[in-house]
Amino acid sequence: AQSVAQPEDQVNVAEGNPLTVKCTYSVSGNPYLFWYVQYPNRGLQFLLKYITGDNLVKGSYGFEAEFNKSQTSFHLKKPSALVSDSALYFCAVRVVYGNKLVFGAGTILRVKS
Amino acid sequence: DTEVTQTPKHLVMGMTNKKSLKCEQHMGHRAMYWYKQKAKKPPELMFVYSYEKLSINESVPSRFSPECPNSSLLNLHLHALQPEDSALYLCASSQTGLSYEQYFGPGTRLTVT
């Protein structure tokens, strides 16, 4: 079965420092991986996706993610964190059969000034 | 336009009431989704419509009844809900196919009293 794991409930980082939010996946076949962000009392916003090709994917708001097939990981990164990046982040994988996304448990990112 | 709209933003209803949630998108997407989300948890898929036909029902209780009147609109009819049904209800849409991201609306905050 397709699944993703986010091993950290919360990540704390100082403003201006690089940030990483971790995600590992388990899929049969080629993975279709996504990152979403959710601000309080809002819907989810799409950040980026990996379908095929270059292992470094660039997305919205300066975020990028690195796909690593050998480690089955898809970590979200940003070179310099902003206080406004503080939010709930979800990694997700597309289920091959059926039009479904399977989400990780989510990681709260707190950026302190 | 990458916007999914949902009405109402907030809804309070008693356990004997009948109400409806509405979702609309004008991106030409032929897949639409209903999710339920509890605080700080990942969204839980409820229903998927593909080309205006119900393609996935994740064993949702019959007190939730989806409807897709046309390719732009998605409704969720509510009847005889329970307090544990209180949650954020999210609508999403996407192009059909594994590589396409879903676009989410802002959600309806439902409280069942």
- d(CA A52, CA A63) in angstroms, rounded, equals 18
Mean pLDDT, chain A, whole residue set: 94
Contact status of A99 with chain B (Cβ, < 8 Å): yes
**Chain B contacts in chain A segment 53-82 (CB below 8 A):** none
Confidence at residue A87, expressed as pLDDT on a 0 to 100 scale:
97
Across the interface, which of B6, B31, B103 has its CB nearest the CB of A99? B31
Distance from CA of B54 to the nearest CA of A (A): 11
Q: Is the pLDDT of residue A98 over 90?
A: no
Across the interface, which of B43, B96, B109 has its CB nearest the CB of A44? B43
Contact status of A103 with chain B (Cβ, < 8 Å): yes
∠ CA B54-B55-B58, nearest 5°, is: 95
Q: Is the pLDDT of residue B96 over 80?
A: yes
A25 vs A99 pLDDT, higher one: A25
b/e B20-50 (16+ beta carbons within 10 angstroms → b): ebbbbbeeebbbbbbbbbeeeebbebbbbbb
| Chain B contact set for A108 (CB, 8 A) | 40
Percent of chain B with pLDDT over 70: 98
Q: Is the pLDDT of residue A104 over 90?
A: yes
Q: Which helix (H) or strand (E) holds A2?
A: none
Q: Is B56 exposed, middle or buried (0-12, 13-18, 19+ CB in 10 A)?
A: middle
Mean pLDDT, chain B, whole residue set: 95
Confidence at residue B82, expressed as pLDDT on a 0 to 100 scale:
96
b/e A62-78 (16+ beta carbons within 10 angstroms → b): ebbbbbeeeeebbbbeb
Distance from CA of A18 to the nearest CA of B (A): 24
Instruction: Write out pLDDT tens, residues B34-78.
Output: 999 999 999 999 999 999 999 999 999 999 999 999 999 999 999
Whether A85 and A19 have beta carbons less than 8 Å apart is answered as yes
b/e B75-103 (16+ beta carbons within 10 angstroms → b): bbebeebeeebbbbbbbbbbeeeeebbbb
Q: What is the mean pLDDT of residues A4-9?
A: 97
Q: Is the pLDDT of residue B2 over 70?
A: no
Q: Is the pLDDT of residue A96 over 80?
A: no
* Tokens linked to B80: 């005889």
Confidence at residue B102, expressed as pLDDT on a 0 to 100 scale:
95
Q: What is the mean pLDDT of residues B82-111?
A: 95
Confidence at residue B1, expressed as pLDDT on a 0 to 100 scale:
59
Using alpha carbons, select from B43, B3, B28 the residue that is nearest to residue B95.
B28
Confidence at residue A29, expressed as pLDDT on a 0 to 100 scale:
84
